[in-house]
């Protein structure tokens, strides 16, 4: 390690570490990883109809191209957050870029749906190394006085990736086919890998409490089984029947392994998830409301392309462009929301943001086969603006309540709640949409547009209800004041 640090200290970019504004270089580097992960999360949305037709599979099978990625993220975020606290965030972050690049290349080369899903899992392992560390790296490097602004900028990078993903994806698919949406990650990833190795700070504070204690492998396994079982049950419920023994056993398995996970964490000397963190109300309710908000956002993002292509018969290129108002709205307001949170606390912007996003979701209930495109664009823009106002203050309040030697775990929890919300939102929206259409005796692909509309209405109503609950949680959890660096062992609620 010391030899490597001596070598990197002599490289040209090492001088950046001595600058007074060095922390902004760290933020910029982390934003590359955030951009890549978000781009890959949204670029796939417009490809799902094309992939479904090319591989001649059911819609529920194609959904696993997205779900395999998100479930891997969800299951491993706390694992790598814990590992980062122990071994250091910079080496893990840099390695994540490399694995992400390899996974992306394999996705592009996939010749079958199972291979594509497997490559997406590898890609997600790289992405989880990036996401589990991003907010923790920023929190450790940035002064508390501008933490909200820095996290807001990182949120903007996420939003830029989300906003460009559908547009870039639609254009690439129309011009070069769906494989190109994965190859586009490779050059960006190479740049990010180089910058991460040269710019990111050396970890000054690592968690020493787990020295000599084995890693919580059993807890990791139980958490993964619990999450995958529940999402798999939602995904296959319409085909197998939600009352079937198979689906009921999946839900029972999810609940049982979840309970065993909590038991394991209470008894392990170095738990994967420090359950004492959930004694901090800011951290607990911030994660819950964050998960619900992303369930709303991703439920809409993954269902709306099917509306454009199946009901309105738009091509993939136009479908991608029409999806961009949502992430663009998030991108425009995220930095401003972060600055507001630095001055006023998190309660006001989080409540206002989720209320706005919920109103946007309600607007989608009026969709028809001939609805003016302007109405849809405005509805998506409102959802994105609400998410942009909500997310940075919520994230800042969660991270600001964490002990410094638990920043990696807290960041992993924050990202896990987001990915869990994304996975649940996608599975929930698809289950509602597919269930309504199948109940009418039609296939979700190729049915008459008028027979598909009720499915879309129910799906949008379901995820909008989740946003409403997120707004209520933000309202009643109290006004939160993020803490200074020295005070991370406690939480102040006003």
Q: Is the dihedral of CA 176, 182, 183, 188 positive or negative?
A: positive
At residue 211, the pLDDT reads 52
- Residue 17's pLDDT band, with cuts at 50, 70 and 90, is low
pLDDT of 425 > 80? The answer is: yes
Token pair 């998190």 is found at 346
Length of the chain in terms of residues written: 494
Q: Give dist(CA 472, CA 451) in Å, integer.
A: 34
Domain membership of residue 346 as a residue range:
15-202+270-487
Q: Is residue 238 part of a domain?
A: no
pLDDT class for 24, splitting at 50, 70, 90?
confident
In this structure, is residue 247 part of a structural domain? no
* Amino acid 18: pLDDT: 59
Closest alpha carbon to 270 in 79, 474, 63, 398: 79
For the entire predicted model, the pTM comes to: 0.72
Is the per-residue pLDDT at 11 higher than 70?
A: no
User: What are residue 480's DSSP bridge partners?
Assistant: 493
- What is the pLDDT, as a whole number, of residue 481? 42
Cα dihedral: 168, 165, 41, 342 (round 10): 160
Bigger pLDDT: 58 vs 227: 227
CATH of the domain at 473: 1.20.1250.20
**Residue 347's pLDDT is what?**
80
CA angle 418, 424, 427 (to 5 degrees): 140
**pLDDT tens digits for range 344-392:** 777 888 889 999 999 999 999 888 877 788 889 999 999 999 999 998 8
The lowest-confidence range among 181-190, 260-269, 327-336 is: 327-336
368 near 491, Cβ under 8 Å?
no
How confident is the model at residue 478, as a pLDDT? Answer: 54
Residues 381 and 373: their CA atoms lie apart, in Å, by 12
> pLDDT tens digits, residue range 103-113?
999 999 988 89
pLDDT surpassing 50 at residue 284: yes
**pLDDT over 70 at 2, yes or no:** no
d(CA 478, CA 489): 19
> What per-residue confidence (pLDDT) applies to 492?
27
CA–CA gap between residue 350 and residue 397 (Å, rounded): 10
* Token code pair at residue 115: 């291979």
CA dist 442 → 366, 430, 449 (Å):
22, 15, 11
393 is a domain residue: yes
pLDDT at 260: 95
Q: Is the pLDDT of residue 152 over 90?
A: no
Q: Which residues contact 17 (CB under 8 A, 6 or more apart)?
A: 199, 201
Question: Of 97-101, 227-231, 236-240, which gets the smallest average pLDDT?
Answer: 236-240
By CB atoms closer than 10 A (0-12, 13-18, 19+), residue 435 is middle
pLDDT at 20: 66
Pick the range with the lowest mean pLDDT from 288-292, 445-449, 489-493.
Answer: 489-493
Distant-in-sequence, close-in-space partners of 488: CB < 8 Å, separation ≥ 6: 400, 401, 402, 403, 404
pLDDT score at 77: 73
pLDDT at 1 over 50: no
Compute the mean pLDDT over every residue in the chain, rounded to the nearest whole number.
80
The whole-number average pLDDT for the span 442-471 is: 86
Position 483 scores a pLDDT of 42
Q: pLDDT higher for 282 or 118?
A: 118
* Position 231 confidence tier, pLDDT thresholds 50, 70, 90: confident
Q: Inter-axis angle of helices 113-141 and 407-439, to 10 degrees?
A: 140
Contact 355, 474 (CB under 8 A): no
Find all residues with CB under 8 Å of 121, minimum gap 6, and list them. Answer: 68, 69, 72, 103
Tally of domains within the chain: 1
Residue 324 CA to its chain's centroid (Å): 17
Round to whole Å and give the CA distance between 284 and 102.
35
- The confidence band for 31, taking pLDDT boundaries of 50, 70 and 90, is confident
pLDDT: which is higher, 295 or 234: 295
Cα separation of 38 and 356, whole Å?
22
- Is the per-residue pLDDT at 64 higher than 80? yes
Whether residue 230 lies inside any domain: the answer is no
> Is the residue at 242 inside a domain?
no
């Amino acid at each position: 390690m010391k030899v490597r640090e001596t070598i990197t200290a002599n490289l040209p970019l090492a001088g950046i570490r001595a600058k007074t504004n060095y922390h902004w270089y760290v933020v910029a580097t982390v934003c590359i990883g955030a951009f890549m992960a978000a781009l890959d999360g949204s670029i796939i949305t417009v490809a799902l109809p094309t992939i479904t037709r090319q591989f001649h599979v059911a819609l529920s099978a194609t959904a696993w191209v997205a779900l395999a990625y998100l479930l891997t993220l969800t299951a491993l975020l706390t694992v790598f957050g814990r590992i980062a606290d122990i071994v250091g965030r910079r080496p893990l972050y840099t390695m994540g870029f490399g694995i992400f690049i390899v996974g992306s290349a394999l996705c592009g080369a996939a010749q079958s749906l199972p291979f594509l899903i497997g490559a997406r899992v590898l890609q997600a392992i790289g992405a989880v190394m990036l996401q589990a560390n991003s907010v923790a790296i920023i929190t450790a490097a940035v002064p508390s006085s501008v933490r909200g602004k820095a996290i807001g900028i990182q949120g903007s990078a996420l939003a830029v990736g989300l906003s460009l993903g559908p547009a870039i994806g639609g254009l690439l698919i129309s011009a070069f086919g769906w494989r190109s949406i994965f190859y586009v990650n490779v050059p960006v990833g190479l740049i990010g890998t180089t910058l991460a190795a040269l710019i990111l700070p050396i970890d000054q504070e690592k968690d020493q409490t787990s020295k000599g204690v084995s890693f919580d492998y059993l807890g990791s396994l139980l958490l993964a089984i619990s999450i995958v079982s529940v999402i798999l049950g939602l995904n296959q419920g319409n085909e197998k029947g939600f009352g079937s023994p198979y689906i009921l056993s999946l839900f029972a398995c999810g609940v049982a392994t979840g309970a065993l996970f909590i038991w394991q964490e209470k008894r392990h000397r170095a738990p994967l998830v420090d359950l004492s963190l959930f004694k901090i109300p800011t951290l607990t309710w911030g994660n819950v409301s964050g998960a619900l908000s992303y369930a709303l956002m991703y439920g809409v993002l993954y269902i709306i392309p099917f509306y454009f292509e199946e009901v309105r018969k738009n091509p993939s290129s136009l479908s991608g462009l029409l999806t961009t108002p949502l992430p663009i709205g998030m991108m425009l307001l995220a930095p401003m929301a972060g600055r507001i949170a630095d001055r006023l606390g998190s309660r006001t912007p989080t409540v206002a943001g989720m209320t706005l996003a919920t109103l946007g979701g309600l607007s989608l209930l009026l969709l028809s086969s001939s609805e003016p495109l302007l109405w849809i664009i405005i509805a998506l823009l409102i959802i994105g603006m609400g998410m942009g106002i909500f997310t940075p203050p919520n994230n800042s309040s969660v991270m600001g309540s964490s002990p410094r030697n638990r920043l990696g775990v807290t960041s992993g929890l924050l990202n896990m709640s987001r990915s869990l919300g994304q996975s649940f939102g996608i599975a929930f929206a698809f289950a509602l949409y597919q269930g309504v259409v199948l109940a009418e005796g039609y296939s979700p692909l190729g049915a008459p547009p008028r027979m598909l509309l009720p499915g879309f209405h129910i799906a949008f109503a379901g995820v909008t209800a989740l946003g409403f609950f997120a707004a209520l949680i933000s309202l009643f959890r109290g006004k939160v004041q993020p803490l200074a660096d020295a005070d991370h062992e406690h939480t102040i609620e006003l």
